[in-house]
């Protein structure tokens, strides 16, 4: 009999990298609850009436706190959870909290899988502009593109957390994103008849669906399309 393992699946990446689409797909296909960081921020905005840029920044820390608190409660009951957002251990505004949340889960023996979405910098900028021009986003999110964000997206130096097994997905061509392969990747790690039936992939390996250059190369295994 197959047994579902309580694991945390983090879908990470820069804005407009395809995180939300992928996380929602996995949640629906695998019947796993998903929590989006932006959803918590929007709820905080609705409950306080704050919609300013300063308010958006102020809600970052509590949004991540709620995100990990919700995940911990479900995992405690043996339920795998997907968290979607832009997670960084190097951000001055979020480093301490995220590091502590992850450390706490790992001390409890929770396995963590990171799916890191990335794309060409120019495409990230183009997608971000289109997303805000359609006018359907919650007002807590800025309806303009700060120059600092444009530079971040163009340079695209955002890196995976590097805290466990990592799957790097290049979404530059949305039509080529191998959703079914990604689903199988997660299924193999959530369901197994025994430990010996698990794939022989190093715990801290990064599995790339599309090669993505990084300043500090990760240990890689390539998954066929």
| pLDDT tens sequence across 162-196 | 888 999 999 999 999 999 999 999 999 987 554 44
Q: What is the pLDDT of residue 225?
A: 39
> pLDDT for 117-163, tens place per residue?
999 999 999 999 888 777 778 888 876 777 888 999 999 999 999 88
Residues 6 or more apart whose CB falls under 8 angstroms from that of 186 comprise 9, 26, 30, 113, 115
Farthest CA pair distance, the chain: 53
Global pTM reads: 0.82
- Tokens 């879908």 found at: 11
Sketch out the chain's domains with CATH numbers: 3-222 (3.40.50.300)
Task: Assess whether pLDDT exceeds 80 at residue 204.
Answer: no
Alpha helix locations (H) across the chain? 19-30, 37-48, 53-58, 60-76, 95-107, 121-133, 147-155, 179-190
Read off the DSSP letter of residue 212.
-
């Amino acid at each position: 009999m197959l047994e579902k393992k309580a694991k945390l699946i983090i879908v990470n990446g820069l804005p407009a990298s395809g995180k939300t689409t992928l996380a929602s797909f996995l949640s629906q296909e695998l019947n796993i609850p998903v929590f989006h960081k932006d959803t918590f921020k929007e709820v905080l905005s609705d409950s306080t009436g704050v919609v300013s840029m300063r308010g958006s920044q102020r809600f970052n820390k509590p949004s991540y706190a709620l995100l990990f608190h919700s995940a911990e409660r479900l995992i405690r009951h043996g339920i795998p959870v997907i968290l979607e957002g832009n997670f960084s251990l190097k951000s001055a505004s979020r480093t301490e909290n995220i590091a502590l949340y992850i450390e706490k889960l790992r001390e409890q023996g929770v396995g963590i899988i990171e799916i890191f979405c990335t794309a060409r910098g120019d495409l990230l900028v183009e997608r971000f502009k289109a997303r805000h021009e359609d006018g359907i986003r919650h007002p807590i999110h800025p309806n303009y593109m700060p120059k600092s964000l444009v530079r971040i997206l163009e340079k695209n130096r955002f890196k995976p957390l590097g805290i466990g097994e990592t799957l790097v997905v290049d979404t530059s061509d949305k039509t080529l994103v191998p959703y079914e392969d990604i689903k199988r990747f997660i299924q193999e790690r959530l369901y197994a008849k025994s430990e010996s039936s698990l794939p022989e992939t190093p715990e801290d390996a990064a599995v790339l669906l599309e090669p993505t250059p990084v300043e500090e190369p990760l240990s890689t295994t390539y998954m066929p399309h």
